[in-house]
Structure 1
């Protein structure tokens, strides 16, 4: 039985991207669907476009590089940005072929965390669908009243969810919560 590895990569049911020094060398169709872009619009671009902020891209790169240099692998749940600007939750798994230069040659797998409460091992993936919605809108800088309008709930309900998130992550301020969530 012959296996066409190129076809397997292109049609994988999970988003995959091959990176070199944090630039996308190749990606598959599911990666394009997850990030709402055409493959040709992503290849040759840095992964920075997919992070909420440039600062998040830089901090995450430093932190992830440390893990890759030690273990060659990395996994977490994080908020990322689609090409149309929408923020969403994704599970990211990565591998480096070059631990001595961790971002030099990498393979990344992305799985969108469904709004139905898909859960995994990390604390971030233990969020309920509504907590995930509120957290995403907080990261976008929306107020409780703005979040309430988007989600069609009361601003007091938003405050309840924000309080739950603060307790869950053992932080005292919304800014600390946002920083924690963006750290991935």
Structure 2
């Protein structure tokens, strides 16, 4: 068995480990970012200083998604202490993107009081847990994110620099994949799946 070095000179600096972790991490108190690491700040295209002491609200497509998410995850956090899902979030420059979020609560009686979150940018083509989300192409993710934002087919086309007909083709594929018949039903499935 190898000798393990011990003593104060060989202790891991946990603050530095948090800051240098290759996955985005944030510590929150009632959904206010108390601290975050460099990977989190870079993922959301900001700085640690810009994000600390602000709510997660600015990282959601809109206020209703932010509020819906709080209501949706609280019971699971309270019961299991952990929660994870894939969702659309918003970078500080306004770009929407898919992200995998995993969280832990230290306060199950008040699930949002003290939490730790890890974020993985799914637009980097990493494997995702959801079979359905994992089957989306990068273009389908782009279109889905803009539909969630409430854009029309023409606005999606303009945003992505493609034709409205191409948007219609991708939207039809998304409707089939999610087994729904309307854009509002598709958006609901995308944000709640």
Q: TM-score, normalised by structure 2?
A: 0.88
- State the match for 2:118 in structure 1: 109
* Deviation, structure 1 residue 149: 4.1
The structure 1 residue matched to 2:31, chosen from 1, 22, 46, is 22
Give per-residue Cα distances to partners, 1:16-48, cap 9 Å, x unaligned: 000111111100011110111111111111111
- State the match for 1:120 in structure 2: 128
Gaps in structure 2 of 5+ consecutive residues: 1-9
Local SS of the residue matching 1:89:
strand
In 2: Cα distance, 1:104 partner to 1:125 partner: 32
* Deviation, structure 1 residue 154: 3.4
- The number of equivalent residue pairs is 183
- State the match for 1:45 in structure 2: 54
Query: Which has more radius of gyration?
Result: 2
Q: Which runs of 4+ in 1 moved over 2 A?
A: 123-126, 139-157
2:161 maps to 1:148: no
The structure 1 residue matched to 2:144, chosen from 135, 150, 153, is 135
> Once superposed, what is the RMSD of the aligned Cα atoms?
1.6
Gaps in structure 1 of 5+ consecutive residues: none
* Deviation, structure 1 residue 57: 0.7
The structure 2 residue matched to 1:36, chosen from 28, 33, 45, is 45
After the TM superposition, which of the residue ranges 164-173 and 150-159 deviates more from structure 2?
150-159
In 1: Cα distance, 2:142 partner to 2:26 partner: 26
In structure 2, relative to structure 1, the CA distance for the partners of 1:45 and 1:151 (3 Å cut) is closer
